[in-house]
Amino acid sequence: ITASECYDLFTYYVNDVGDRDWSRKLSPIIHPLEKRLPPLMYGKEMEGIALQCYKKKNHGKRIIKMGLVIPPSAPFLGCSPDAISIDDCKLIEIKCPLSGKDKPL
């Protein structure tokens, strides 16, 4: 379970109004859909370009591309930041919505 999914499930649990459908809520986690939808494909294609733009705007900062991070003390959790900025102690999460396709970076 990723950090995003964990938060989503937590808020679903906390905001209970008596009509929770856990089967429906857990289905996308247990049986994820193929990520071949145009908006998702566009976002994936643009991630590298967006990260390069970020690096240019933050010249001189140590920015490292990341993948799945699993904390040793909680191996059942994970998160997948796109990168981290070592000098700023920042996690970088890139989003490239299809609605921004015709806008400059």
Q: How far apart are CA 83 and CA 92, in angstroms?
A: 5
Instruction: Check residue 100 and report its DSSP letter.
Output: G
Report whether 50 contacts 105 (CB < 8 A).
yes
Output the pLDDT for position 73. Answer: 94
Q: How far apart are CA 35 and CA 77, in angstroms?
A: 22
pTM for the whole structure = 0.64
Instruction: Using DSSP, state whether 9 is helix, strand or coil.
Output: helix
Q: Which helix (H) or strand (E) holds 6?
A: helix 3-14
Asked if the model's pLDDT at residue 6 lies above 80, the reply is yes
Q: What is the pLDDT of residues 24-38, one digit of tens each?
A: 888 888 877 766 788
User: Looking at this protein, which amino acid is placed at residue 105?
Assistant: L
Asked if the model's pLDDT at residue 105 lies above 80, the reply is no
Asked if the model's pLDDT at residue 72 lies above 80, the reply is yes
- Of 80, 93, 97, the residue nearest 51 (C-alpha): 93
Q: What is the pLDDT of residues 52-62, one digit of tens each?
A: 999 999 999 99
Distance, C-alpha 104 to centroid of its chain: 22
Topology (CATH) of 3-100 = Lambda Exonuclease; Chain A (3.90.320)
Q: Residue 83: what are its φ and ψ, rounded to 5°?
A: -165, 170
81 class by beta-carbon count within 10 Å (0-12 exposed, 13-18 middle, 19+ buried): middle
